Amino acid sequence: MLRLDDVTKEFRIGAFGGKSVTAVREVSFEVAPGEVVSLIGESGSGKSTIGRMILGLNPVTRGSITFDGRPVRADKEYYRHIQGIFQDPFSSFNPVFKADRVYNMIKETYYPAVSEPEWEERVEAALRDVRLNPGQVLGKYPHQLSGGQLQRLLIARALLLDIKLLVADEITSMLDASTRIDVLNLLAELRTRGLGVLYITHDLSLGTYLAERTMVLRRGSIVEMGLTGSVFGDPLHPYTRELLSAVPRLNQAWDDATPVDSCVYHERGATGALIEAEPGHFVACARLDTCP
Amino acid sequence: MSLQVSELKVYYRTLKGEVRALDGMTFELGDGEILGLVGESGCGKSTLGKSLIRMDGRMRHVGGTVVLDDRELPIGDDRAMNDFRFREVSLIPQYAMSALNPTRKLRRMVTELLRSRGAEVDTAELERRMDQVGLPREVLDRYPIELSGGMKQRMVMVISTLLDPSLLIADEVTSALDVSTQKAVARALLGFRESGYIKSMIFVTHDIALTHHIADTIMVMYAGRLAEKAPADVIVKAPRHPYTKLLLDSLPEVGVRHADRRLEGIPGSPPSLLDPPAGCRFRARCPIAGDECAQDPPVAELAPDHHVACWKA
């Protein structure tokens, strides 16, 4: 459904754009319908840039992004199928207007022919799909609603369209532990309807909870990619190992895995091509055989 | 005892009335103790942290006392608190990124800041502390924009503790950081206590797993009140309050998959603190609530150092 081929993004920086920074380097992956793929990386690894390129918010420097065989176009038809939700629900809404105005905007743009009563029914059905009580959220201003409610309003907005792919960029990082799980469970249910989700996060435990496949991004390149169970159950790249060892867990002390700095390959500062270490499990580490 | 808070009440003034963000908090913090403070958004944990150092204009000190090292903190008096801020009580804010003055190089910023408190910079000591948290010395001659998020957070930590405060309040310091930086920052905080830069610390967060690693004691708050307070291991392994139990059940861990084990959130939402219901405030969401819960549950010490505010515990 969604396919990225050797996507590279360079940003021009400096006073006259004289220097450039490579934020994303030759990234290729696919997201199939009904599949949750998580993209994990630390701050500055380029994970949000990938999301923004898929949404057509930033142009691609090299490579191609196609959706159902057609390239990204920032137009009405494209956004009918692909929608994005971002980290801060309070800045996603215009505080001056009531929150349900986003639904009217969808109606005006995409469904001008639908009658008012029918549209109301559709909105209420979408709200119930995301476990919201329409009476509690319609007609309210953003500040009157909680972060979890606002994020679910945005998911409901996406459901009103004929959505096939949702780019979820850190959508739960501003939510509480208990609300966070509700939103994740909701995404898991929507997946059964054939919705593909690209789940971008820096939180490893949230990433593993949902995703079938996981990609680990470091400095703009994918260093490891495969089924979630094999990437986290049997991490091959030293960076993935280090990330996993840094996750605080209940009932378990932090263990000191081999730091990345001691990795010979790391010191050379280059990133190799992804090789298939075992079926479906790719890793960008050229010294896999010699690594302890 | 380093810090004693008794019956602290802090309300927010709003157009609709007073929001009772802290409604009778009583707890103690020992010398050298790290207290992890957890709870949902709006439970009053940040309000508690702010009350101990600086109340903003909307906050009003309604009742209760705070005693730090046998001296009462004048928390309701903004000006009188100036003598305590930075020297006795210090804060690491949540967004260290915006806590640093963007127009100053760090060396000048630190100098100006210390001078405003009547102290001089001890460069050797500053550099020693920067070494301890793994910051290169060149950082002092850079602008904040030239540092990464984790470096800024660590720099703010060093600056906040330069005058060796007795109490340090760390408000969600690791929430914006990725796991590897989070670990480095948490370890640096523990190092500060070992080196004696700070005596005790309140670590405000919503991440129970992280708190478990660095705190000696964990205090769970709900709707402006204490729900449960116990040594970190006890809270995680043998919680008594139903809210703590549900909160722990909703935590995702690496390796837990939706397909294998479905985690559940806590149904419902916390009560409005504008006009909180009488009795136990968790009653409406509590799976085991009974008739007696219509009365305010007292905070009982069920075991040594294990305080729980629940009739059913």
Domain range annotation of chain B: 3-88+165-308, 98-164
| B124-132 own/partner pairs: CB under 8 Å, 24+ apart | B125/B162, B126/B158, B126/B162, B129/B158, B129/B161, B129/B162, B129/B197, B130/B155, B130/B158, B132/B188, B132/B191, B132/B195
The 10 Å Cβ neighbour count of residue B45 is 25
The question of ipTM being above 0.85 is answered as no
Q: For residue B155, give the amino acid letter.
A: M
**Which of A48, A174, A178, A189 to substitute to test the interface with B, most B CBs within 10 Å?**
A178
B45 contacts B208 by C-beta, under 8 angstroms: no
Q: pLDDT tens digits, residue range A39-88? A: 998 877 888 899 999 999 999 999 999 999 899 988 888 999 999 998 88
The pTM is what? 0.82
Out of A11-15, A140-144, B6-10, B227-231, pick the least confident: A11-15
CATH of A2-227, picked from 3.40.50.300, 3.40.50.2300, 3.40.50.1240, 3.30.420.130, is 3.40.50.300
- Check residue A220 and give its pLDDT: 87
Joined together, the tokens standing for residue B53 give 């150092």
Q: Hey, where are the domains in chain A?
A: 2-227
A20 min Cα distance to partner chain B (Å): 16
Backbone angles phi, psi at A90, to 5 degrees: -75, -25
B175 interaction partners in chain A (CB closer than 8 Å)? 173
Average pLDDT estimate for A148-177 = 86
Give the number of beta-carbon pairs within 8 Å between A and B.
Answer: 113
In words, the CATH class of domain B3-88+165-308 is alpha beta
**Per-residue buried b or exposed e for B140-170, using 16+ beta carbons within 10 Å of the residue's own CB:** beeebeebebbbbbbbbbbbbbbeebbbbbb
pLDDT band at A268 (very low <50, low <70, confident <90, very high): very low
Three-state SS sequence of chain B:
CCEEEEEEEEEEEECCEEEEEEEEEEEEECCCCEEEEECCCCCCHHHHHHHCCCCCCCEEEEEEEEEECCEECCCCCHHHHCCCECCCEEEECCCHHHCCCCCCCHHHHHHHHHHHCCCCCCHHHHHHHHHHCCCCHHHHHCCHHHCCHHHHHHHHHHHHCCCCCCEEEEECCCCCCCHHHHHHHHHHHHHHHHCCCCCEEEEECCCHHHHHHHCCEEEEEECCEEEEEEEHHHHHHCCCCHHHHHHHHCCCCCCCCCCCCCCCCCCCCCCCCCCCCCCCCCHHHCCCCCHHHHCCCCCEEEECCEEECCCCC
Q: pLDDT tens digits, residue range A226-256? A: 999 888 888 888 888 888 888 887 766 676 5
A251 interaction partners in chain B (CB closer than 8 Å)? 236-237
Instruction: Kindly determine whether residue B250 and residue A180, on different chains, have CB atoms separated by under 8 Å.
Output: yes
- Check residue A37 and give its pLDDT: 94
